[in-house]
Amino acid sequence: MRSFKRKILEEATLFVSLLVFLHILQTYSAEINIISDSQFLTEEDKLVSPDGTFQLGFFKPNGTKNRYLGIWYTKVSVQTVVWVANRNRPLTGASLGVVKIVNLGNLVIMNNTNDHVMWSSNTTSSGNTIAKLLDNGNLVVTNENNNKILWMSFDYPTDTLLPGMTYGKNFMTGQEWYISSWKNSIDPAPGEFTFIMDTRSYPQSLLKQGDVVKFRCGPWNGKRFSGSSFSQNNILTYTMVINKTEVALTYNLANSSVLVRSTLNSSGKYERSVWVEERKTWQVIFVLPRDNCDTHNICGPYGHCVMMSIQTCLCLDEKKFIPKNPKNWETANWYGGCVRRTPLDCKNGSDGFKRYSNVKLPDTQTSWFNISMTLKECQAICLNNCTCMAYANTDIRGEGSGCLLWFNDLIDIKLVSEGMGGQDIFVRMASSELDNEGTYIKIILMIVLPTIFILSLSSAWFCYTRRKQDKAEPTWEWESLQVHENKREAMELPLFSFSTIEKATASFSPDNKLGQGGFGPVYKGILKEGEIAVKRLSNTSSQGLNEFKNEVICISKLQHRNLVKLLGCSIDGDEKLLIYEYMPNRSLDFFIFDQIRSTLLDWTTRFRIIEGIARGLLYLHQDSRLRIIHRDLKPSNILLDLDMNPKISDFGIARSFGGNENEANTERVVGTHGYMSPEYAVAGLFSTKSDIFSFGVLVLEIISGKRNRRFVHSDNGTNLIGHAWTMHNEGRSLELVDTNLEEAINPSEVLKSIEVGLLCVQRSPDDRPNMSSVVRMLGNELGALPKPKQPAFFTERNLLAADISSTNATSSTNNLTITELVAR
Of the two residues 317 and 351, which places its CB atom closer to ligand NAG in the complex? 351
| 80, 431, 559, 790: residue in contact with ligand NAG (rule CB under 6 A) | 431
Cα–Cα distance for residue pair 233/127, rounded to 1 Å: 44
Element (H, E) at 184: strand 179-184
Of the two residues 152 and 344, which places its CB atom closer to ligand NAG in the complex? 344
Stretch touching ligand NAG by CB under 6 A, among 260-268, 491-499, 791-799, 803-811? 260-268
Cα–Cα distance for residue pair 673/692, rounded to 1 Å: 15
| 368, 464, 478, 593: residue in contact with ligand NAG (rule CB under 6 A) | 368
Cα–Cα distance for residue pair 194/180, rounded to 1 Å: 4
* 730, burial (CB in 10 Å: exposed 0-12, middle 13-18, buried 19+): exposed
| 146, 243, 255, 812: residue in contact with ligand NAG (rule CB under 6 A) | 255
Query: What's the closest the beta carbon of residue 640 comes to ligand NAG, in angstroms?
Result: 32
CA distances from 661 to 658, 664, 688 (A): 5, 8, 10
Tell me if 407 contacts ligand NAG by CB under 6 A. Answer: yes
Query: What's the closest the beta carbon of residue 390 comes to ligand NAG, in angstroms?
Result: 13
* 562, burial (CB in 10 Å: exposed 0-12, middle 13-18, buried 19+): buried
| 22, 186, 284, 491: residue in contact with ligand NAG (rule CB under 6 A) | 284
Stretch touching ligand NAG by CB under 6 A, among 49-57, 266-274, 656-664, 785-793? 266-274
Cα–Cα distance for residue pair 309/287, rounded to 1 Å: 19
Give the count of residues interacting with ligand NAG (CB under 6 A).
20
Whose CA is closest to 38, among 144, 146, 149, 148?
A: 144
Query: What's the closest the beta carbon of residue 185 comes to ligand NAG, in angstroms?
Result: 6
Query: What's the closest the beta carbon of residue 428 comes to ligand NAG, in angstroms?
Result: 13
| 345, 418, 489, 742: residue in contact with ligand NAG (rule CB under 6 A) | 345
| 387, 543, 805, 810: residue in contact with ligand NAG (rule CB under 6 A) | 387
| 114, 146, 234, 257: residue in contact with ligand NAG (rule CB under 6 A) | 257
Of 198, 317, 632, 650, which is the active-site residue? 632
Tell me if 265 contacts ligand NAG by CB under 6 A. Answer: yes
Of the two residues 238 and 368, which places its CB atom closer to ligand NAG in the complex? 368
Of the two residues 185 and 808, which places its CB atom closer to ligand NAG in the complex? 185
Tell me if 348 contacts ligand NAG by CB under 6 A. Answer: yes
CA distances from 562 to 326, 531, 641, 773, 796 (A): 16, 19, 10, 18, 32
Query: What's the closest the beta carbon of residue 168 comes to ligand NAG, in angstroms?
Result: 24
Tell me if 748 contacts ligand NAG by CB under 6 A. Answer: no
Cα–Cα distance for residue pair 358/5, rounded to 1 Å: 92
Q: Cβ neighbours of residue 83 under 8 Å, at least 6 residues apart?
A: 70, 71, 137, 139, 153, 157, 158, 160
Of the two residues 119 and 270, which places its CB atom closer to ligand NAG in the complex? 270
- Determine how β-strand 46-48 pairs with β-strand 31-32: parallel
Q: Are 594 and 705 in contact (CB under 8 A)?
A: no
Q: Give yes or no: 632 in active site.
A: yes
3-class secondary structure, 758: helix
Helices then strands, counting H and E runs in the chain, come out as 18, 45
Of the two residues 361 and 727, which places its CB atom closer to ligand NAG in the complex? 361
Q: Are 66 and 125 in contact (CB under 8 A)?
A: no
Stretch touching ligand NAG by CB under 6 A, among 137-145, 262-270, 692-700, 745-753? 262-270
| 25, 241, 258, 454: residue in contact with ligand NAG (rule CB under 6 A) | 258
Q: Are 176 and 249 in contact (CB under 8 A)?
A: no
Tell me if 478 contacts ligand NAG by CB under 6 A. Answer: no
Of the two residues 428 and 752, which places its CB atom closer to ligand NAG in the complex? 428
Stretch touching ligand NAG by CB under 6 A, among 132-140, 259-267, 524-532, 560-568? 259-267
| 87, 269, 608, 723: residue in contact with ligand NAG (rule CB under 6 A) | 269
Query: What's the closest the beta carbon of residue 335 comes to ligand NAG, in angstroms?
Result: 25
Strands (E), 609-759: 627-629, 638-640, 646-648, 655-657, 663-665, 685-687
Residues 160-199 that bind ligand NAG (CB under 6 A): 185
Of the two residues 185 and 292, which places its CB atom closer to ligand NAG in the complex? 185
Residue 134's beta-bridge partner residues? none
Q: Are 792 and 800 in contact (CB under 8 A)?
A: no
Q: Cβ neighbours of residue 162 under 8 Å, at least 6 residues apart?
A: 82, 136, 137, 138, 154, 261
CA distances from 377 to 372, 399, 434, 478 (A): 10, 15, 20, 54
| 350, 439, 458, 739: residue in contact with ligand NAG (rule CB under 6 A) | 350
Of the two residues 357 and 385, which places its CB atom closer to ligand NAG in the complex? 385
Cα–Cα distance for residue pair 457/687, rounded to 1 Å: 24
- What residue ranges bind ligand NAG (CB under 6 A)? 185, 255, 257-258, 265-267, 269, 271, 284, 287, 345, 348, 350, 368, 385, 387, 407, 431-432
Catalytic residues: 632
